[in-house]
């Protein structure tokens, strides 16, 4: 009798734990799946865009060099400048060995971001970050290749803000997806990931 009660009590304790583990497990596998799905469908692809450093930059120009790429717009007050300055800080923290990594900021607001405004904007951060823009079609195309969502959201005063994926992609020397950084990644973790990217052949 006592034994049964004991078993029941243990079960009562264990049940929420099992449920919790199941939820965590599910989230973990879903997380892995989404990364897996990314890889399977192939994040990244060919592009040729107007560069803030002059001329055009294409995916072919980047062959043999690992790079990081993120999407944003210069009319964004809070997260975009913070991300651009974080990326600058991470690149600086890598020191000379970090010179091997290119950093690309692709505008998802080509209507307002031209080469000159991107150049101006980025000059306030690091000369290591290359701004890219293009026609609406070119941007739509590169966003599709990188599975980046973006949408215009009109504001009352006739302006608009952009909703957009705030993820930073790490791409290896072959232009293949190698991982992500998030906009609020801690410096130590970010630098470690960038070092791994550099070390990967």
161 is a site residue for other proteins (CB under 8 A):
yes
Q: x/- site string to other proteins, residues 164 to 183, per CB under 8 A?
A: xxxx--------------xx
Give the whole-angstrom CA distance, residue 94 versus residue 181: 15
Establish if 122 lies at the interface with other proteins (CB under 8 A).
yes
Question: What's the DSSP call for residue 166?
Answer: -
Judged by beta carbon, residue 160 or residue 198, the one nearer other proteins is: 160
| Positions in 74-103 near other proteins (CB under 8 A) | 74-79, 81-82, 84-86, 88-89
Among 5, 12, 154, 156, contact with other proteins (rule: CB under 8 A): 156
* Calpha distance 197→121 (Å, rounded): 27
Site string for other proteins, 10-29 (x = CB under 8 A): --------------------
Least distance to other proteins, CB of residue 16, Å? 17
Q: Which residues contact 128 (CB under 8 A, 6 or more apart)?
A: 88, 91, 103
What are φ and ψ of residue 29, in 5° steps? -65, -35
d(CA 121, CA 26): 42
Position of tokens 């998802």? Answer: 108
Pairing of strands 129-133, 102-107: parallel
Q: Per CB under 8 A, does 136 bind other proteins?
A: no
- CA neighbor of 127 nearest in space, from 168, 93, 84: 84
Report the interface residues with other proteins, using CB under 8 A: 3, 6, 74-79, 81-82, 84-86, 88-89, 117, 120-125, 149, 153, 155-157, 159, 161, 163-167, 182-184, 186-187
């Amino acid at each position: 009798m006592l034994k049964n009660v004991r078993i029941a009590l243990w079960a009562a304790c264990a049940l929420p734990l099992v449920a919790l583990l199941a939820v965590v497990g599910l989230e973990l596998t879903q997380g892995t799946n989404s990364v897996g799905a990314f890889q399977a469908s192939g994040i990244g692809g060919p592009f040729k865009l107007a560069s803030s450093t002059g001329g055009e930059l294409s995916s072919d120009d980047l062959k043999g060099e690992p790079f990081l790429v993120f999407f944003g717009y210069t009319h964004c007050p809070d997260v975009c400048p913070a991300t651009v300055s974080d990326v600058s800080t991470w690149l600086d923290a890598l020191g000379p060995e970090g010179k091997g990594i290119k950093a690309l900021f692709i505008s998802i607001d080509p209507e307002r971001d031209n080469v000159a405004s991107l150049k101006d904007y980025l000059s306030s951060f690091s000369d290591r970050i290359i701004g890219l823009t293009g026609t609406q079609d070119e941007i739509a195309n590169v966003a599709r290749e990188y599975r980046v969502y973006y949408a215009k959201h009109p504001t009352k005063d006739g302006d608009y803000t952009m909703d957009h994926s705030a993820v930073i992609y790490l791409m290896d020397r072959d232009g293949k997806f190698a991982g992500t950084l998030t906009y609020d990644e801690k410096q130590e973790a970010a630098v470690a990931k960038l070092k791994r990217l550099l070390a990967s052949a």
